[in-house]
Amino acid sequence: MAEENEKVLIICEKPDAAMRVAKALDEKEGPIKRQIKGVPYYEARRDGRRLVIVPALGHLYTVAPKIKDREVYPVFDFYWLPKHVAERGSKHTKTWIEVISRLSKEADSFILATDYDIEGATLGYTILKYACGGKEGEAKRMKFSTLTVNELRESYRNLQSHIEFPLVEAGVCRHFVDAIYGINLSRAMTIAAKKYSGKYSTLSTGRVQGPTLNFLVAREKEINSFVPIPYWKVTAKVRISGSIYIAQYEKTSIENLSEAERIVKECENSQGTVVNVEVRSIRQSPPKPFDLGTLQTEAYGIFKYTPQRTLNIAERLYLQALISYPRTASQKLPPSINYREILKSLGRSSKYERLSNLLLSKERLVPNEGKRQDPAHPAIYPTGNLPEKTLSEPERRLWDLIVRRFMAVFGDDAVKQSMKVTLDINGYRFHLRGRRIIEEGWMKFYRPYTRTEEVLLPSITEGDKVEVIEIIREDKFTNPPPRHNPSSLLKKMEEVEIGTKATRAEIIETLYKRGYIVDERIKVTDLGFDVINVLMKYCPTVISVDFTRDLERSMEAIQNGNEKMQNVIDKAVNHLRPVLETFKKREKEIGQALSEAIRKARFQDRYVGTCPTCKTGSLMILYSKRTGKRFLGCTNYFRGLCKTSYPLPQKGTIKPARKNCKLCGWPLILVKARGKRPWNLCFNPNCPSKTERSS
């Protein structure tokens, strides 16, 4: 039993979470919010105990090499240290560590209330160990999947006796292995390029980043080497009951032009006869509950949100207690979350009232679950809470998607009818296909996110005659494999088991930031190609999917208690050491290759197009030595041949848009300013678009 006035320090992951924990646990008139040096914390009382709830700001500690000199590699001796010591731009975390350390000195006991996953456990462990003076062994643990009042109180009543050490060990191992790989390889590449060119440029790769970029390079090579093969399609335009339909020839791909021409010739001016009508009913089960990967895929398909953006929005919804913890791999919804109570609560919104009542009228609520499980958290689901404040448009959309998906998993099977009509036109077979929904089932709950289009055919029976209006031959070419988009790349990473549900989206974003890839339909830049070519030539094992996947499985084994952290770290070091030795021996030629890649990349970042005045120079983004302002100038200026220049916006970032103005044909500049949507600038002073605006 707790001693009267025992002071308990509760450590949360973020300020919003700390506020919700404090409000849920305080049994008086509300927690008191206080501040030390701008760091917020809360005081509350419960069961005679004085609770002090303080947030972190995510990770306050990081892994770094003991050798501080950035010009040295390989380095294999790493340790934890405060983030503000290791990373520029993290100075503010020093104050948070100082405040948590000060509050810990006054505490009698400790509770960890960070997110219940590898990262939450790891960041909590480091705070307890380093900021709180070695309290990781005595701290108790709150485990929750939502920030609702009831679940937080239940979690506090049923404290776990200690923090989850196998999870911590797996998390610490991941941080060490990722740092060993990322810092050594990135440092080796950066140093090699700098030694050769004398100029500093940040280059990076890592345990997961390298194989992921290699997927994209392999796809790019497939596309570039693809040779289109001609083929032909034949269709028949027919009239049935006064309406026009298109029937497909039974061979969807005809490889011989003469065959296609023969079919067209022999079917022209003929009448069609219905020789077969096949009607089938198909039952379609409800969708599975969302895990993080399927939520990211669905949000990309519907809203075009990148995986990282979806995760960021989902985390905001979680901190507002609107959804459960999003970083989950589970497709299970346990009855303990109380389906009916959630639906009743959602039904308080007029938007969901009718749908909620439909489900509540069912005798039993049984979700259509998937196979994936996560020992820490269930699938993503709405808590039943309604927004306390107006949601942003992206938040509203994603929350609505999650609510409707949750409802849909309890729906009945949808029943669809497919109809295949076979027409005989002068001895050749053509097919008409129709589909319609007979019973909506779960689909009524998931609208407008169902993507089923009905194609209705008229009543038709065998022996009916059909008017053939036209026989059409289409000349086609086979297509190269499609480019990855952020969603399909994330699915590829899932399939080959590299990265984690929490890190995959971030790795994709890093590839964009480094300039290795561009565009939504992902293209690999010359720099991305060159980096992979260098790694493939000099150290191919670091872009190996097999070794990366093996390490992932080893870290999962740590989490399950079947492997030791030091064994996995030793395996990573032993794999990397000879790679770096080879790298050092060939540092000059590697540096030359990387320097050339960087030079080309910098040129491409500044090259806008051919000068529209002299037609021989290149328009480049340049900076004035006198004023420091940027402008567009022709490279022939330096030869005394052309004085063409154009002003540019001085705020925000700019880069070539790689496309031309539709009105005047001049190349465009992409401008990104903080707080504004990116926009394309045509710098042609005589462009019709400028005339239209001024008139």
The yes-or-no verdict on residue 694 having pLDDT over 80 is: no
Q: Spell out the residues 6+ positions from residue 171 whose beta carbon is closer than 8 angstroms to its own.
A: 118, 119, 121, 122, 125
Residues 6+ apart with CB under 8 A from 365: 339, 340, 343, 359, 410
By three-state DSSP, how is residue 467 classified?
strand
Q: What residues contact 412, with CB distance under 8 A and at least 6 apart?
A: 286, 439, 441, 442
Among the residue ranges 318-332, 339-353, 513-527, the one predicted with the least confidence is 513-527
Q: Are 413 and 284 in contact (CB under 8 A)?
A: yes
Q: What is the mean pLDDT of residues 182-189?
A: 92
523: enclosing H helix or E strand: strand 523-524
Does 2 score more than 60 pLDDT? Answer: no
ω before 378 within 30° of 0 (cis)?
Answer: no
Average pLDDT value for the chain: 92
pLDDT at 24 over 80: yes
Instruction: Look up 325 and say whether it is catalytic.
Output: yes
Residue 651 or residue 318, greater confidence: 318
Q: Give 636-639's long-range contacts (Cβ < 8 A, gap of 24+).
A: 636/611
- Pairing mode of beta strands 271-284, 465-477: antiparallel
Contact 593, 503 (CB under 8 A): no
| DSSP SS3 for 555 | helix
Q: How far is 220 from 331, CA to CA, in rounded Å?
A: 33
**Residues present in the chain in total:** 695
- The partner residues of 234 in beta bridges, in order of sequence, read 473
Tokens at 489, concatenated: 């790349």
Assess contact for 110 and 159: CB atoms under 8 A. Answer: no
C-alpha torsion angle, residues 589, 594, 600, 606 (rounded to 10):
-150
Rounded average pLDDT over 589-616: 88
Question: Does domain 7-163 bear CATH number 3.40.50.140?
Answer: yes
For the cut 50, the answer to whether the pLDDT of residue 1 exceeds it is no
Q: What is the mean pLDDT of residues 600-628?
A: 87
pLDDT digits (tens, 9 = 90+) for 257-284: 999 999 999 999 899 999 999 999 999 9
pLDDT of residue 695: 43
The rounded radius of gyration (Å) of the Cα atoms in the chain is 31
- Of the pLDDT bands very low, low, confident and very high (cuts 50, 70, 90), residue 453 is confident
The stretch 92-110 carries a mean pLDDT of 96
Query: What's phi and psi for 579, nearest 5 deg?
Result: -60, -45
* 200-237 per-position pLDDT tens digit: 888 888 899 999 999 999 999 999 999 999 999 999 99
CA distance 178 to 208: 9
CATH (residue range 298-408): 1.10.290.10
pLDDT of residue 3: 59
130, 231, 325, 446: which one is catalytic? 325
Q: Exposed, middle or buried: residue 7 (CB in 10 Å: 0-12, 13-18, 19+)?
A: middle
pLDDT at 686: 85
The boundaries of every CATH 3.40.50.140 domain in the chain are: 7-163
Q: Which one is predicted more confidently, 439 or 657?
A: 439
Provide the percentage of residues in the chain whose pLDDT is more than 90: 75
Amino acid at 102: R
Give the H/E segment covering residue 521. none
Element (H, E) at 426: none
For the chain, residues classed under CATH 2.70.20.10 are 230-286+414-477
- Closest among 207, 140, 79, 119 to 559, alpha carbons compared: 119
CA distances from 439 to 283, 456, 490 (A): 9, 15, 34
Q: Judge whether 171 and 178 are in contact, CB under 8 Å.
A: no
| Residue in this structure with the two tokens 């561009």, named with its chain if needed | 518
| Confidence class for position 692, pLDDT limits 50, 70, 90 | low
Residues contacting 531, CB < 8 A, separation 6+? 189, 203, 205, 213, 516, 594, 597
Task: Considering the chain, tell me which residue range(s) the CATH 1.10.290.10 domain(s) occupy.
Answer: 298-408
3-state secondary structure of 380: strand
Long-range contacts of 363-366 (CB under 8 A, 24+ apart): 365/339, 365/340, 365/410, 366/410
**Token pair of 408 as six digits:** 């849909």
CATH number for the segment(s) 172-224+502-598: 1.10.460.10
Q: What is the DSSP string of 125-194?
A: HHIIIIITTS-TTT-EE---SS--HHHHHHHHHT-BSS--HHHHHHHHHHHHHHHHHHHHHHHHHHHHHH
CATH class of 230-286+414-477: mainly beta
Rounded CA gap, 687 and 280, in Å? 58
